Amino acid sequence: MIYKSDLSFFRINHKKKITEALKKLSLINPPILFVVNNKNNFVGTVTDGDIRRHILLNNDLSVNLEKLVNKKPLICNYRDLKKKIYYEKILNQNNLKGIPVLKSKKI
């Protein structure tokens, strides 16, 4: 398991297949991927749980991540970083794996 603060490890293109996301998720902690489009703009998040639910319902590993991305995750605006304690509390209360911090649609 790799613990990284470098966000490039957590970033994945929305056109990638589920199998590529699973490989990345097995190497990072927390197991959450920030899905971006071709312009590197934030699209949403994908977790190991999202993929498991998709497999159980559809039994299809060949689809792109754009089919199962959570497009409305809880996000933190870059200007709101002063509320760090608030976001840490939300993480713990809701058992979330991470909250993306966005600045101009970028992670």
pLDDT grade for 25, boundaries at 50, 70 and 90: very high
pLDDT grade for 73, boundaries at 50, 70 and 90: confident
Question: Using one digit for the tens of pLDDT, what is the confidence trace for 28-59?
Answer: 888 999 999 999 999 999 999 999 999 999 88
With residue 13 as reference, give the H or E element that holds it. Answer: strand 11-13
- pLDDT of residue 3 exceeding 60: no
pLDDT grade for 2, boundaries at 50, 70 and 90: very low
Distance CA 41, CA 61 (A): 24
pLDDT grade for 107, boundaries at 50, 70 and 90: low
Q: CB neighbours (10 Å) of residue 100?
A: 19
The strand pair at 76-77 and 42-47 is best described as unpaired
